[in-house]
Amino acid sequence: MDIDKIINRVISYNPSADIELIKKAYQVANLAHHDQKRLSGEPYIIHPLETASILTEFKMDVVTIAAALLHDVVEDTTITSSNIKEQFGEEISLLVEGVSKIAWVQQHSKHENKAENLRKMLIATAKDIRVILIKLADRLHNMRTLSSLSVDAQKQMALETLEIYTPLAHRLGLGKIKWELEDLSFSYLHADVYHEISKMVASKREEREAYAERVREILTEEFNKANIAADILSRPKHFYSIYQKMTSRHKSFDEIYDLTGIRIITDKQVDCYNALGIVHDKWQSMPGRVKDYISTPRSNMYQSVHTTVIGPDGKPMEVQIRTREMDIIAEEGIAAHWHYKEKTRFDEKHDSKFAWLKRVIEWQQELTDPKDFMEGLKQDLFSDEVFLFTPKGEIKILPKGATPIDYAYSIHTNVGDHCFGARMGGRMVPLDYKLESGDIIEIITSIKAHPTQSWIRIVRTPKARSRIRNWLKAHEEEQQKELPQKDTRPKPQEHSSPKPKKVSISKVIISGINDIAFNLAKCCGPIPGDKIAGYVTKGGVTIHRIDCRNIMNSNNGQSRIVDAVWGEDKTGTYEAGIMVRAFNRENLLKDMLSLINTTHTTINEAWAKVVENGIAKCSFIVLIRDKEHLTEIIHLLERIKGVIDVYRGRT
């Protein structure tokens, strides 16, 4: 790579670019590195040139390209940050300085050094996201030329790349960089397995391409009939991804590789759903495998509709559908928003989309233990997220597996320190409850409540863990006073306080309630197999599913909730509601009714209506024996052509 090729690339996507700035940066870098060589023996200037070249693939602005050319001069030559600022201005100076602060952290480094360097990297990134884009391009070129290092150094750098830089690229939505970093790291960490998989992929390439071409021809014909403009591509399989699936699913290469990947790129978002309908009409969809990341994008801005169908010859086929703009975001992530035409700062434009980054920085700055820092960082980079709602409708984003205590500390330290309980959808949930996307959480506080040692084992976020430890340390003496003392008082007589009884009322056992009638709630339709709770009313006890959002409908509702479980007598039938969303077509309701009848199930009610965009909403009230019977019906309905999803409904 030479500077002329880089300049030509920049001109190709930005004809009005300040080319003189790039030339000047190259001249300074070339002079500064003129007597330096890489371990391969080639001139050192090749490295910043290749780093800049990688960034031109993402159409980065001239400031980023210039900073990439200069990114090693402060660290490796006599040029200072002040020199850079004087010659190129503050913006380029800050980028170069940010990259320079990120030292090469080797696997055998002490935790203190490694934690401090990564801390610098995150802080520098928060100031300008382009710092990490340059660093990732720098790391990618180093991985491409890793063969010059010793075997031990190769493995150390490959492992660090896989642990830190690959998930960071994923978090920033840089698919192209992530996949290449993964495969390069894999080739050094497991060379034998890598070469074996690459041989097997090569041997199946023709067969795979022929199958993809068959699918392409079928879909092209159907899309033309529906006036859908789309590109249909065979999705490439990455070696490390194949290896991960083989090891995690305990499957052979043939089982993993036979799963064909197809990508459909449309012009309009509405055609993504139209294309999904055609795919489902053409081939049987697999239950539970439809994921809509268009309406609910991932935290790295990724958007697509995913589905898995049984394709030609009965082979499973994964299909991704997205627009052209979504495809660019999937490949380039945050870099797509830093194309030459973009002038908006990261903290203004991307605050909501990359809230996780600022959250990580905030948490990590509070962690004093380097081991905690490293564990927390890896946890944050790898974890998925859940999107939660406050009672006022505000969104909170936490790592998957977070609990109400994590949520409380995300609001404020005082809320976390005095967290007494949590209410979700009108019912109390335990403090170790794993939060899920869509949960509406209300934290109940009390002046008397405070953190305990057990909270550390429950929480998921570094921030909560750090705050809990800080509180326990600050109140250590008080905690000792609160330890239970030996009770020397005489014990009460056994008859003085009778224990609550569990009384069986027909088919339900209600704790602490004697001889009270009960009925099953219509709102959630509990059936044997569901976890249940009782709600005390004037007319008796109403039995709800414990996840029913209506179980509490008054301010003193919590005091009315009593424990309940199913008794041994589960004979008889129970009403259950089933809701189905599907792409509307001729005989849709008839097919559903026929399928339910094959299970010898009584149908008390059935209706269907088209709600929007050709999607039909169907409702059934059926008489079933237990949860297994209901699950069987749901699974059968999921297999009907055109069905999007099936779920429990009201009775």
Collapse the DSSP code of 624 into the 3-class scheme (helix H, G, I; strand E, B; otherwise coil) and give the result: strand
* Residue 474 burial class via C-beta count within 10 angstroms: exposed 0-12, middle 13-18, buried 19 and up: exposed
Distance of alpha carbon 446 from the chain centroid: 33
Do residues 132 and 168 touch, judged by C-beta distance below 8 A? yes
* Residue 72 burial class via C-beta count within 10 angstroms: exposed 0-12, middle 13-18, buried 19 and up: buried
Q: Rg of the chain over CA atoms, in angstroms?
A: 30
Quote the CA–CA distance of 320 and 219 in Å, as a whole number.
13
Quote the CA–CA distance of 475 and 339 in Å, as a whole number.
52
Do residues 298 and 273 touch, judged by C-beta distance below 8 A? no
75 is a catalytic site residue: yes
Residue tagged active-site, from 76, 369, 563, 645: 76
Torsion of CA 159, 162, 165, 169, to 10 degrees: 170
CB atoms within 10 A of CB 358: 16
Quote the CA–CA distance of 154 and 143 in Å, as a whole number.
9
Quote the CA–CA distance of 559 and 561 in Å, as a whole number.
6
Token couple for 448: 């008397």
User: Among candidates 395, 501, 391, which has minimal Cα distance to 441?
Assistant: 391
SS3 content of the chain, % helix, strand, coil (to 5): 50, 20, 30
- The values of phi and psi at residue 566, to 5°, are -75, 140
- The values of phi and psi at residue 434, to 5°, are -85, 115
Residue tagged active-site, from 18, 75, 318, 591: 75
90 is a catalytic site residue: no
Residues forming the active site = 75-76
